[in-house]
């Protein structure tokens, strides 16, 4: 196991009715900016629960944070927060709202051009405190210090990570997820599943506990993922998916092990250029990464095949091929496509993606740093069509 330092400061309130805890989490003296997306929280009753819990507080609102949140939109919120002297941000929604709010928190007191928060990742000097009510299990943003922001004008989708933007608390009520569409439910499960794979499918690091945790999360996502599309209002199914997604990217399973974020970095460029949902891009790229890196990831893919996918095949090459095929089948079962051409994207797209990867410095990806631009182009070719 590699050395590591691990701290996660996010207080979790999990379960039915926990939104009422906002009363205790936010003091009556705080000037709150409530941030949300395109209005799902008004349709499913979450907005009302939040406002009831915040009764008596000074609350301003900023709505319209879009999926893959835009820098341009978020800067409008920064202006409002500065004018109203906001001292607490409450994000209510999916990963995009939580990420966007982390950026707002960082930008309010930022000295200089706030886009530098994404491009020149010097540690932040300060950030306005934030909390969140999560309504879409997927990103893990509710319990990590990362955020992904898109500059729409240049199609740059970049991330920043800073301990100052960990939420102070996160409220996870599985009932808020009953209203998710099958597409968003499936995207979320895919995202969480791939987060685990990117911290697990590398090379053995004698980290049994991280491996067993990872395998537990993967198995839960497979088992509950099969159930949720048939039983979208089953509380226990939704609860297990929600907690699995949080555990997939809160630093726990990634501590002390090598990691490979190739799939996410390629996926971000595909979303920025072609508008696919985040989860959709991952289901396309990860099977191709597994195929391209099969020799370097051999031992861990075989472990995944046996322990998670229940593949008992003596021939290692066949076992790896079956593991890739079964991973694809899982995404397909969820209703998520696994090839670029299924979205009408063809070989012409590859040079465009490569230009963006180079611009963003994504030239040595993977647990060995061996995924250069030529390797990325080959991975994208493997992802083109069946
Ligand atoms: O905007 P509203 O109306 O709220 O609708 C949203 C949105 O259209 C809807 N939705 C959310 N909760 C709902 C709901 N609809 C019905 N009922 C509910 N309970 O779902 C749509 C998608 O929401 P979004 O927040 O965009 O999805 P997700 O949570 O998948 O977030 C994706 C973003 O997170 C980034 C992605 O790149 C992408 O920008 N990521 C952030 C990470 C992090 N901070 O650690 C890591 C991830 O790998 C990821 O990159
Ligand atoms: Zn993700």
For the segment 55-83, what is each residue's pLDDT rounded down to a tens digit? 999 999 999 999 999 999 999 999 999 99
**What is the percent of the chain where pLDDT is above 70?**
100
Note the ligand closest to the C-alpha atom of 101: 1
Instruction: Return phi, psi of residue 92, to 5°.
Output: -130, 105
Over residues 142-161, the mean pLDDT reads: 97
Top mutation candidate among 139, 175, 189, 269 for ligand 1, by most atoms within 8 Å of CB: 139
Residue 334 has pLDDT above 90, yes or no: yes
Rama region for 159: left / alpha / beta (φ>0; ψ in -120 to 50; rest): beta
Atom of ligand 1 nearest to the CA of 150: 39
The set of protein residues with a Cβ atom below 6 angstroms from ligand 1 is 37-41, 44, 67-68, 93-97, 99, 135-136, 138-141, 144, 146-148, 176-177, 179-180, 184, 187-188, 191, 249, 264, 278
Mutate to test the pocket of ligand 1, among 184, 233, 249 (most ligand atoms within 8 A of CB): 184
User: Is 90 exceeded by the pLDDT of residue 121?
Assistant: no
Mutate to test the pocket of ligand 1, among 19, 35, 37 (most ligand atoms within 8 A of CB): 37
Q: Which atom of ligand 1 is nearest to the CA of 46?
A: 19
Q: Which atom of ligand 1 is nearest to the CA of 249?
A: 45
Residue whose CA is at the smallest distance from ligand 1 atom 16 = 180
- Say which ligand is closest to the CA of 167: 1
CA distance 315 to 158: 41
Q: Which two tokens stand for residue 356?
A: 């963006």
Cα-to-centroid distance, 295 and ligand 2 (Å): 25
- Distance (Å) from CA 361 to ligand 2 centroid: 19
Tell how far the Cα of 91 is from the centroid of ligand 1, in angstroms. Answer: 12
Q: What is the pLDDT of residue 264?
A: 98
What integer pLDDT is reported at residue 118 of this predicted model?
96
Pocket test for ligand 1, best of 96, 101, 277 (most atoms within 8 A of CB): 96
Distance CA 380, CA 284 (A): 9
Task: Determine the atom of ligand 1 nearest the C-alpha atom of 268.
Answer: 37
Residue keyed to tokens 């898109």: 150
Ligand closest to the CA atom of residue 271: 1
The proportion of the chain whose per-residue pLDDT surpasses 90, expressed as a percent, equals 99
**For residue 386, what pLDDT is reported?**
76
Residue 196: pLDDT band (50, 70, 90) is very high
**Quick check: 217 and 253 in contact, CB under 8 A?**
yes
The ligand minimizing its distance to the Cα of 71 is: 1
Instruction: Tell me: pLDDT of 149 over 90.
Output: yes
Q: For ligand 1, what atom is nearest to the CA of residue 177? A: 19
pLDDT at 39: 95
Q: How far is the CA of 42 from the centre of ligand 1 (A)?
A: 16
Q: Which ligand is nearest to the CA of 41?
A: 1
Nearest atom in ligand 1 to 97's CA: 25
Give the pLDDT confidence of 291-301 residue by residue, as tens digits. Answer: 999 999 999 99
Give the integer Cα–Cα distance in Å for 69 and 347. 28
Q: Residue 120 above 90 pLDDT?
A: no
pLDDT at residue number 122: 79
Helix then strand then coil, in percent of the chain rounded to 5, is 50, 10, 40
> What domains appear along the chain, each with residue ranges and CATH number?
11-176 (3.40.50.1970), 182-382 (1.20.1090.10)
Mean pLDDT (whole number) for 310-326: 98
65 CA: nearest ligand 1 atom: 1
What is the pLDDT confidence band of residue 269, given thresholds at 50, 70 and 90?
A: very high
Per-residue CA distances from 242 to 48, 114, 139, 209, 214 (Å): 21, 32, 10, 21, 15
Question: How many angstroms does the Cα of residue 185 sit away from the middle of ligand 1?
Answer: 10
């Amino acid at each position: 196991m590699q050395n590591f330092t691990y701290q996660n400061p996010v207080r979790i309130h999990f379960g039915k009715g926990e939104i009422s805890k906002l009363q205790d989490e936010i003091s009556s003296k705080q000037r709150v900016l409530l941030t949300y997306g395109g209005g799902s929280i008004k349709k499913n009753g979450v907005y009302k629960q939040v406002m009831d819990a915040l009764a008596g507080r000074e609350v301003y609102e900023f709505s319209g944070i879009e999926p893959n949140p835009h820098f341009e939109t978020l800067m409008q919120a920064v202006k409002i927060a500065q004018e109203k002297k906001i001292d607490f941000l409450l994000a209510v929604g999916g990963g995009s709202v939580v990420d966007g709010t982390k950026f707002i928190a960082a930008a309010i007191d930022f000295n200089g051009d706030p886009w530098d928060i994404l491009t020149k990742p010097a540690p932040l000097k300060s950030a306005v405190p934030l909390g969140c009510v999560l309504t879409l299990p997927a990103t893990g943003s509710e319990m990590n210090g990362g955020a992904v922001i898109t500059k729409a004008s240049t199609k740059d989708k970049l991330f920043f990570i800073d301990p100052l933007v960990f939420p102070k608390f996160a409220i996870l009520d599985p009932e808020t997820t009953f209203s998710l569409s099958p597409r968003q439910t499936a995207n979320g499960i895919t995202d969480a599943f791939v987060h685990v794979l990117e911290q697990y499918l590398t090379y053995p690091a004698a980290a049994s506990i991280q491996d067993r945790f990872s395998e537990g999360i993967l198995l839960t996502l497979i088992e509950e993922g099969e159930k949720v599309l048939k039983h979208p209002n089953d509380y226990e199914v939704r609860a297990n998916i929600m907690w699995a997604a949080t555990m997939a990217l809160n630093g726990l399973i990634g501590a002390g092990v090598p990691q490979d974020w190739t799939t996410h970095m390629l996926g971000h460029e595909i979303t920025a250029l072609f508008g696919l949902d985040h989860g959709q891009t991952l289901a396309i790229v990860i099977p191709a990464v597994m195929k391209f890196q099969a020799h370097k990831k051999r031992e861990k893919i075989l472990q995944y095949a046996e322990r998670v996918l229940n593949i008992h095949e003596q021939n290692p090459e066949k076992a790896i091929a079956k593991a890739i095929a079964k991973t694809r089948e899982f995404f397909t079962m969820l209703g998520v496509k696994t090839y670029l051409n299924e979205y009408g994207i063809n070989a012409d797209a590859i040079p465009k993606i490569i230009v963006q990867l180079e611009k963003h410095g994504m030239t040595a990806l993977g647990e060995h740093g061996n995924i250069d631009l030529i390797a990325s182009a080959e991975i994208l070719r493997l992802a083109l069509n069946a």
